[in-house]
Amino acid sequence: MARTGVKVLLGIGLVGSAFGAYQVYDRVYAWYDQRQFVPVFIIFGVGLLLLAIGVAKLKGPVIATVVFLAGAAYAGAMLRLGKTRDEERMAGYRSEIDIQKAAAAVCAGTPNTSASETPIDGKRPILGAGMSPGSAEWFSGGTAWHDLPKPRTLAELQLVACTEVIHDLRATCDYQGKNGVGAYSISRVRRVDHITVRDAKTAQVLGRKSFEGGEPATDCSKEITVSSDSRETSRDVTGEAPSDKDETDFVRAFVEQPK
């Protein structure tokens, strides 16, 4: 009977330590989620302790001590490696933010003095930055320009494509709400992208080109939205965006062009 109890204890300890070991790997090493450290280590510690007690009763204290120390070493290693992994990950985030800020600054005329002048695999990495209508600052989301090479470091930020989006007013049209309630004057606008490619190291302009989108629809009533309580709201009518392919072909020429 006592031996059966020991086996049960050993089984519970084995399950608890195995589950805890996975949680240590997932929450401590993979994610380094410090909020989970206490419950994770408690689960693993209790499971490991029960496992060691069961092993001690079946195999002796020496083997139990080895099992317990091995488990503790595993937890310590995951903690140490998790911290290193997290520091590297955060350093990568900070580096990416620095590149984004540098790209936006280049569009504003501030050079990226860290930029290399040597192409990578025959191409000059590029990052895009944009300015939307009504905005006063350039912004880079850090996304690559379609299939063109993206810089991974400040040194690789050799080109910046600065896109200023303009909404060109084409006309306005009036809409009278239902039963004479709610009159709207809706703007019909065409989107125009002004793209300027700059050399990141000098912030000098290498080329400029404007790309016009499609003409806005003439039926403004389609832009009226009626809510569940019969209230009507409107929005401006904007034509189709300029061609991504045409814009990318323009930018690609600078990326693939030898300096």
pLDDT tens for 60-117 read: 999 999 999 999 999 999 999 999 999 999 999 999 999 999 999 999 999 999 999 9
Separation of alpha carbons 216 and 79, rounded Å? 58
Cα–Cα distances in angstroms (integers) from residue 149 to residues 70, 78, 156, 159, in the given order: 46, 35, 10, 10
Q: Which three-class secondary structure state does DSSP give residue 45?
A: helix
Would the pTM count as exceeding 0.85?
no
What is the C-alpha to C-alpha distance for residues 93 and 31, in angstroms, rounded to an integer?
A: 15
pLDDT for position 1: 43
* Measured distance CA(222)–CA(255) in Å, rounded: 41
In contact, 123 and 149? CB cutoff 8 Å: yes
Comparing 70-79, 134-143, 230-239, the range with the smallest average pLDDT is 230-239
Asked whether the predicted pLDDT for residue 257 surpasses 80, the reply is: no
Domain spans in the chain, listed from the N-terminal domain onward? 2-99, 110-255
